[in-house]
């Protein structure tokens, strides 16, 4: 059946009603909004490393204490993910994203006037962190609802917004700092992030409703069935008297009631009228947050994968510039390395989306291969020497990071994990579990750097977390279809066998009564 839209002109604030997932339409506008939101959220977070040395000099703080700014920001962003899911289901994605944009901008603007690192913890860490959560998660969730067959490709391409942001923001902010200083540069970034609010206004809710053409068919078939039943009853009336059994002529067994049978009144009393059954059932209320995903073994393993893999997402982008400066590379060339990483990440995201869009393909295995290769990239950083060595490692890491970072949340919609029906709640719980790694990752790397006086230790800690994530990711598919799933099925079978007996048809009682009457008459005649 061809996809259709209700022929009602609706304003921009109304919901889009489709008969099936459109795989386009207004979804392209939502994809563009997600591109910009990615640029102004994760793009700014990954570009924050350009302020790293300035903050250490201004506040006279260590690496680990400055790292807590981004650490608290990422923790609040991920820890409040269930709150984002609840608010989105209650008030809609549009209002939540617009409110998040205001919080992100306000936190960054106020941070430009901070007088201590603790002020940064509150403004960027708490205020902007909450805004990042309210902006990013609802946008990627509603984008997944607009696409089905093209979901992996569109989400991967739209998520390149943060890559283009890092590519452009890192050199631009570095040049801007030399002209107006880091405080006014941070103020300019905060004003720019007001664009998230404009993108939130473009997020129309989507409603999928099945076509209602089938409802007109049962009345036409019921009249035809009626005459067939009357003819059949006249032919089989003698046999039914002898046997006492109604096989196919019982109104309770055949759709379409006949007026000749008095038993047709009973189904109406019990609410078994076929016309009533064909009526559209009331739509169930949407749960604000469905924690039933926590009983799914495959989701638990996938959540642990996200927990450990998060250790390798932010620290390299945060420490690549300090690492290059420690090797004697200038500021300008260090910014170029970060920009090259961002460009490579763009190609990685597009490549991953293109591969995952192929069918048939087991997407969870492709993700596993990318995670393993990303672990190798993290281990390669400490062995880099000079500008070109870091450039090669950064390009390789950026490409592999793009294959993982742009797909790990949309993969929740796949049947190997939880499916599209429970993706909204699963995304909230999944990102919430990531909050622990987001809180501990950058400070842990900072402590290792302060202890060893070597930036290589930060990349080793990221590699260790990524390897653990790969182990849990490898268990997702076996938990979905392997021993764990078989044990769960056995428990369900045992519960179903111990349940109440199946309901008997109405004719079964009539059969026994008819037999009893016939046997009684036979004994009297004897």
- State the DSSP string of 384-453: --HHHHHHHHHHHHHHHHHHHHTTTTGGGGSTTTT-STTHHHHHHHHHHHHHHHHHHHHHHHHHHHHHHS
Note down pLDDT in tens along the chain; length 526 residues: 344 444 344 444 566 677 677 777 888 999 999 999 989 998 888 888 788 888 888 888 887 788 888 888 888 887 888 888 888 888 888 999 999 999 999 999 999 999 989 999 999 999 999 999 899 888 888 888 888 778 778 888 888 888 788 778 878 888 898 889 899 999 999 999 999 999 999 888 877 776 554 444 555 555 555 545 555 454 444 444 343 444 444 444 444 444 444 444 444 444 444 444 444 445 555 566 666 777 778 888 888 888 888 877 766 777 787 888 877 887 778 778 877 887 888 888 888 878 877 766 778 888 889 899 999 988 888 888 888 888 898 899 989 988 887 777 777 777 667 777 777 777 777 877 777 776 677 777 778 887 888 888 888 888 888 899 899 988 888 887 765 555 555 656 555 665 555 554 555 445 555 555 555 555 554 4
Report yes or no: 167 and 343 within 8 Å, Cβ to Cβ: yes
Q: How far apart are CA 121 and CA 70, in angstroms?
A: 8
Report yes or no: 37 and 308 within 8 Å, Cβ to Cβ: no
pLDDT score at 255: 43
Give just the sign of the alpha carbon dihedral 45, 50, 51, 55: positive
Per-residue exposure over 259-292, b if at least 16 CB sit within 10 Å of its own CB, e if not: eebeeeeebeeeeeebeeeeeeeeeeeeeeebee
Q: What is the pTM of this model?
A: 0.61
Q: How far apart are CA 35 and CA 47, in angstroms?
A: 16
Question: What SS3 class is residue 282?
Answer: coil
Q: Minimal CA–CA distance to 13: which of 287, 200, 285, 288?
A: 200
Q: How far apart are CA 317 and CA 459, in angstroms?
A: 10
Question: What SS3 class is residue 207?
Answer: strand
Q: Minimal CA–CA distance to 416: which of 352, 360, 493, 349?
A: 360
Q: How far apart are CA 232 and CA 237, in angstroms?
A: 8
pLDDT score at 127: 94
Q: How far apart are CA 291 and CA 426, in angstroms?
A: 8
Burial bucket for residue 504 (CB in 10 Å: 0-12, 13-18, 19+) = exposed
Domains, in order of start, for the chain: 18-211 (1.20.1250.20), 289-497 (1.20.1250.20)
The one-character DSSP state at 31 is H
Q: What is the largest CA-CA distance in the chain?
A: 118
pLDDT score at 212: 52
Report yes or no: 147 and 25 within 8 Å, Cβ to Cβ: no
Question: HSE-up of 104 (CA within 13 Å, CB side)?
Answer: 33
pLDDT score at 88: 87
């Amino acid at each position: 059946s061809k996809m259709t839209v209700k022929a009602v002109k609706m304003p921009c604030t109304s919901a889009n009603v489709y008969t099936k997932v459109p795989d386009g339409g207004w979804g392209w506008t939502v994809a563009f909004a997600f591109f910009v939101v990615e640029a102004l959220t994760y793009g700014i977070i990954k570009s924050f490393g350009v302020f790293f040395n300035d903050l250490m000099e201004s506040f006279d703080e260590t690496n680990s204490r400055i790292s807590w700014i981004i650490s608290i920001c990422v923790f609040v962003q991920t820890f409040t993910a269930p709150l984002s899911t609840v608010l989105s289901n209650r008030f809609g994605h549009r209002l939540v994203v617009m409110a998040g944009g205001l919080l992100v901008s306000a936190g960054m603007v106020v941070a430009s006037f901070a007088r201590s690192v603790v002020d940064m913890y509150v403004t960027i860490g708490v205020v902007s962190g909450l805004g990042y959560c309210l902006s990013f998660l609802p946008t990627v969730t509603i984008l997944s609802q607009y696409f089905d067959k093209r979901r992996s490709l569109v989400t991967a391409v739209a998520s390149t917004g943060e890559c283009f942001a890092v590519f452009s923001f890192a050199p631009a902010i570095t040049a801007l700092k030399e002209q107006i200083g880091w405080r006014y540069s941070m103020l300019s970034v905060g004003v720019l992030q007001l664009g998230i609010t404009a993108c939130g206004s473009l997020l129309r809710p989507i409603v999928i409703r099945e076509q209602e053409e089938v409802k007109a068919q049962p009345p036409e078939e019921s009249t035809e069935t009626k005459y067939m039943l009357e003819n059949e009853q006249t032919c089989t009336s003698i046999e039914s008297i002898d046997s006492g059994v109604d096989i196919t002529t019982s109104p309770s067994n055949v759709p379409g009631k006949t007026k000749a049978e008095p038993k047709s009144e009973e189904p109406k009393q019990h609410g078994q009228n076929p016309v009533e059954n064909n009526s559209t059932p009331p739509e169930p209320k949407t749960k604000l947050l469905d924690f039933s995903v926590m009983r799914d073994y495959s989701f638990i393993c996938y959540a642990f994968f996200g927990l450990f893999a998060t250790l390798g997402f932010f620290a390299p982008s945060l420490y690549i510039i300090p690492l290059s400066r420690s090797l004697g590379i200038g500021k300008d060339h260090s910014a170029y390395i970060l920009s090259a990483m961002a460009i490579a990440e763009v190609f990685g995201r597009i490549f991953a989306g293109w591969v995952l869009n192929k069918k048939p393909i087991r997407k969870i295995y492709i993700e596993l291969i990318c995670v393993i290769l990303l672990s190798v990239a993290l281990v390669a950083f400490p062995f880099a020497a000079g500008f070109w060595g870091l450039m090669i490692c950064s390009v390789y890491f950026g490409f592999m990071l793009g294959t993982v970072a742009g797909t790990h949340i949309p993969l929740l919609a796949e049947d190997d994990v939880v499916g599209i029906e429970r993706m909204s709640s699963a995304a909230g719980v999944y990102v919430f579990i990531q909050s622990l790694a987001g809180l501990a990752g950058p400070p842990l790397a900072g402590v290792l750097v302060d202890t060893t006086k070597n930036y290589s230790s930060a990349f080793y800690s990221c590699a260790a977390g990524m390897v653990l994530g790969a182990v849990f990711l490898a268990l997702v598919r076996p938990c979905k279809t392997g021993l764990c799933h078989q044990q769960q099925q056995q428990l369900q079978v045992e519960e179903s066998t111990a349940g109440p007996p199946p309901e008997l048809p109405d004719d079964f009682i009539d059969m026994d009564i008819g037999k009893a009457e016939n046997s009684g008459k036979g004994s009297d005649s004897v």
